[in-house]
Chain A
Amino acid sequence: MKIVVGHLYPDYLNIYADRGNIAVLARRAAWRGHELEVHTVSVGDPVEPGAHDLLYVGGGQDREQALVAEDLVAKSDGVAAAVDGGAALLAVCGGYQLMGRSYRDFRGGDLPGIGLFPLETIAGETRMIGDVLLECELEPGVVRTLAGFENHAGRTRLDRGAEPLGRVVAGFGNDGVSGLEGCRVGRAVGTYLHGPLLPRNPWFADWVLAQALAHQLGEPPALEPLGDELEQQAHAVSALRARSRGGKR
């Protein structure tokens, strides 16, 4: 099948090697006989209803983030309609913040968000930087780990009852105190984890792919397993790093 990805603002939000995530999705789709087609959706481009199986948005520096925030608000109905219509979404770092209700920078300036995720972000004076390890239970009873790197000044607070992506085993997570990381609303996931996230967490790359395919199939399909020895090695080293040095200011 052809899987269409709408990559939001790749020309502005690309600070943490987001193309690595896209490359992993493309290869892992191709190894299962699917084709990933990536469309750029940047400033001024509309999000056409039903056009994308997956929306992807990465992170940027404060300057770039401010440049796109206003444009993203103009797209908020389109993004909401896409997700309501069953498209998957993956938002990393700055893109995750902008998918919440609002982002307040350390000077007190407010960037509007689009309210896809039930959360707010307020920048603190210190950055939360380091390796991070999560435990996730995206399907009941199936606990798996995500390993990555975080680097954010924002403290993100989920609304009561909101579903996080995972629980912090080592590292800071959303705000350094709640023990929660990321946010999930159905097929939409936001997280601070980069590194990039997908190469060293192949099970999650496949979860995202399956959610994107579900946009067309109605249900996420089971994907045939791949030889992920290198991926597992990279995951193990990253997880070890988080346990030994994550979450330290």
Chain B
Amino acid sequence: MPGKLLWKVDPGAVDRLAARLPLGSALISATNGKTTTAAMAAEILRGRARLAHNNSGANLVSGVASTLLDARGAELGLFEVDEAALPEVAGRLRPRAVCLGNLFRDQLDRYGELEHVAEGWRAAVRALPAGAALVLNGDDPQVGELARDRPGAVVFGVDDPSCARPSLQHAADSKYCVRCGTLYEYAAAYVGHLGDYRCPNCGHARPPLSVVARNIRLHGLEAVAFRLETPDGVHDVRLRVPGLYNVYNALAAASLAGALGASLDEVATGLERFSAAFGRFERIAVGERRLLMLLIKNPAGANEAVRTIVDGGVPSLAVIALNDAIADGRDVSWIWDVDFEPLLAGLEHLIATGDRAAELALRFKYAGMPAGAIEVIPALERALDRGLELTPEGDELVLLPTYTAMLALRKIVGERGFVRPYWERAA
């Protein structure tokens, strides 16, 4: 990878390459949704400028370097950035806009504690150029708090209690006040700890929202529609991807694109054109059957994947793939924090696969699934074939893989000629 080489030989080259972009750079970071948010923002912005966009998910400094090297003639840099890499990337690129989505516990063996990542973000925000636009998810207490010292920040959030969850999910993060440590009270909790919070002790509360989603309508696995309210006006938007979490991604993309000068019409048109980001929610036709692939990588993200599937009707069969490479997290304990239980309402047969297939099988055994209903097939290709064999013609097979399992499964399907590599699709 030339970016990695360049980065090693001459780290400052990244700064110079980025400085050549006539319209500057925009950065997007979050634990969950950064790839999708960046893909949505690209869909909105590509009519306005030629983009340098790291759409394959290479989101460390080296990945940004590679993208810059490959994108000759680009005008605007649009980069998703790893949470831990944000301070360094922002320091080098001197971005004109930064969009921060959320912080959830994720791969503790790699990132360390959530508080550590949050501290890095606070430092990155303090070091931003004065003129840089800052876009923040006000529904996340740690992220919304960053608006405190940046009065011009664009704050987005959801305001539709009809979509709220009855309570915070198990093992929610950031549920204690960032200022005084008291348990927040939630008027509405939407995704994980994202919601309308208020501290009963010191009064720290969700900041005022300038970009808001209201009147949200969830349409199973097909779509989600909402009313997008911005300082420039109001527009109804229908996304062709499902789930409340994608409303957050759309709000982030809309706010960022707006900060970069896109009109409300461009925003709405771009969002409605968007179909799916790499492996995040993909339907792939395999002969007479279809695969429905949803990436799982941490409790908050996996809970939303489960919720989305259940909203579309609980499948009777699923293939769940757990790997433990560095990119997946070597510590697999997070699967015990995922609320898989709603799947048990209809799941009759689970195929557990990946390097830690047995551990995943135990997760479902101790959730109450009969051991006879769980098949352990560590080899991904065999597991996929077994799943397809059990799927009737015309039906859909649900696949929930971790990151490296997703890459491997896509490759297997691709080698059989069923899916174009993502770099061919990217415009």
Decide if B355 is an interface residue (CB 8 Å cutoff): yes
Q: Could you say which residues of chain B place their CB within 8 Å of the CB of A62?
A: 113, 115
The residue from B171, B330, B359, B368 contacting A237, defined by CB atoms under 8 A apart: B359
Which residue of A15, A27, A130, A231 contacts B105 across the interface (Cβ within 8 Å)? A15
Q: Once the chains bind, are B361 and A230 in contact (CB under 8 Å)?
A: yes
Cβ-defined partner of B336 (8 Å) among A20, A231, A233, A234? A20
> Which residues of the partner chain A approach B171 to less than 8 Å between Cβ atoms?
14-15, 17, 19
Chain A contacts for B179, CB-based, 8 A:
none
Whether B337 sits at the interface, judged by CB under 8 Å, is yes
Give the residue name and chain of the B residue nearest to A43 (CB).
B183
**CB-defined interface of A12-38 with B at 8 Å, one 1/0 digit per residue?**
001111011001100100000000000
Q: Does A200 contact B (CB under 8 A)?
A: yes
Q: Does A127 contact B (CB under 8 A)?
A: yes
Residues of B near A195 (CB, < 8 A) are 331-333
Chain A residues, CB < 8 A from B355: 237
- Decide if B358 touches A20 in the complex (CB within 8 Å): no
Residues in A with CB closer than 8 Å to B324 are 241
C-alpha gap A20/B171 in the complex (Å): 12
Look across to chain A and name the residue whose beta carbon is closest to the beta carbon of B335: A17
Q: Are B337 and A17 in contact (CB under 8 A)?
A: yes
Fill in one digit per residue for B165-192: 1 if any A CB lies within 8 Å of its CB, else 0.
Answer: 0000011000010000101000000000
Contact A64 B366, beta carbon cutoff 8 Å: no
The residues of A that contact B176 with a CB separation of less than 8 Å are 63-64, 67
Docked CA distance A14–B374 (Å):
27
* A129 to B376 CA separation, bound complex (whole angstroms): 28
Q: Interface digits, A57-80 against B, CB 8 Å rule (1 contact, 0 not)?
A: 000011110010000000000000
CB distance from B145 to the nearest CB of A (A): 14
A19–B337 CB distance below 8 A:
yes
Task: Flag if A230 contacts B358 (CB, 8 Å).
Answer: yes
Q: Does B108 contact A (CB under 8 A)?
A: yes
- Chain B residues, CB < 8 A from A129: 109, 331
Indicate whether A199 reaches chain B with its CB closer than 8 angstroms: yes
Tell me whether A194 is interfacial, beta carbon within 8 Å. yes
Chain A contacts with B in 160-201, Cβ cutoff 8 A? 194-196, 199-200
Chain B residues with CB under 8 A of A199 = 336, 359, 362-363, 366
Decide if B23 is an interface residue (CB 8 Å cutoff). Answer: no
A180 to B17, CA, bound (A): 51
Q: Mark B98-114, 1 if CB is under 8 A from A, else 0.
A: 00000001001100111
Count of interface residues, chain A, beta-carbon cutoff 8 Å: 35
| A149 CB within 8 Å of chain B | yes
Q: Does B72 count as interface, using CB distance less than 8 angstroms? A: no
> How many Cβ-Cβ contacts under 8 Å join chain A to chain B?
96
Q: How far is the CA of A196 from the CA of B176 in the complex (A)?
A: 24
**CA separation between A11 and B183, bound complex, in Å?**
10
Q: How far is the CA of A27 from the CA of B361 in the complex (A)?
A: 15
Which of B108, B181, B363 contacts A151 (CB under 8 A)? Answer: B108
**Could you tell me the dominant secondary structure of chain B's interface residues?**
mixed
Bound-state CA distance A151–B363 (Å) is 21
**Assuming A20-B366, A23-B367, is B359 touching A151 (CB within 8 A)?**
no
B365 within 8 A of A: yes
Instruction: Report chain A residues within 8 Å CB of B359.
Output: 199-200, 234, 237-238
Q: Which of A79-117 contact B (CB under 8 A)?
A: none
Judging by beta carbons under 8 Å apart, are B336 and A230 in contact? Answer: no
Nearest residue, chain B, Cβ from A198: B366
**Residues in chain B near residue A63, CB distance under 8 A:** 113, 115, 176, 181
B-side contacts of A53, CB under 8 Å:
none
B333 touches A194 (CB 8 A): yes
Contact B109 A24 (CB under 8 A): no
> CA separation between A239 and B239, bound complex, in Å?
45
Cross-interface CB contact of B334 among A17, A24, A64, A233, cutoff 8 Å: A17
A194 to B170, CA, bound (A): 18
Q: Is B379 an interface residue (CB 8 A)?
A: no
Which chain B residues border A149 with CB–CB below 8 Å?
Answer: 109, 330-333
* A19–B366 alpha-carbon span in the complex (Å): 11
Interface residue? B371 (CB, 8 A): yes
CB distance from B182 to the nearest CB of A (A): 10
Is B356 part of the binding interface, using a Cβ–Cβ cutoff of 8 Å? yes
Residues in A whose Cβ lies below 8 Å from that of B371 = 227, 230
Q: Which residues from B are CB-within-8-Å of A206? A: none
A15 & B181 in contact (Cβ 8 Å cutoff): no
| Chain B residues near A15 (CB-CB < 8 A) | 105, 108, 171
Contact B330 A130 (CB under 8 A): yes
Q: Does any Cβ of B come within 8 Å of A131's Cβ?
A: yes
Q: Which residues of A contact B335 (CB under 8 A)?
A: 17
Contacts of A130 in B (CB 8 A): 109, 330
Considering the chains assembled together, what is the distance between the CA atoms of A196 and B337 in angstroms?
A: 10
CA distance A227 to B361 in the complex (A): 14
Q: Contact check, A196 vs B336: say whether CB atoms are below 8 A apart.
A: yes
Of all chain B residues, the one with the shortest Cβ separation from A12 is B176
Known: A131-B330, A151-B108, A195-B331. A61 touches B113 (CB 8 A): yes
Q: List 12 A-B contacts (CB under 8 A).
A: A16-B331, A16-B333, A17-B333, A20-B333, A20-B366, A67-B176, A67-B181, A129-B109, A130-B109, A151-B109, A227-B371, A234-B361
Closest 6 CB pairs of A and B: A17-B336, A20-B336, A233-B358, A234-B358, A17-B333, A61-B113
Q: Which residues of B contact A (CB under 8 A)?
A: 105, 108-109, 112-115, 170-171, 176, 181, 183, 324, 330-337, 355-356, 358-359, 361-363, 365-368, 371, 374, 376
Apart from A129-B109, A196-B336, what 9 extra A-B contacts exist at CB < 8 Å? Answer: A16-B331, A19-B337, A20-B333, A27-B366, A199-B366, A227-B371, A233-B361, A233-B376, A245-B330
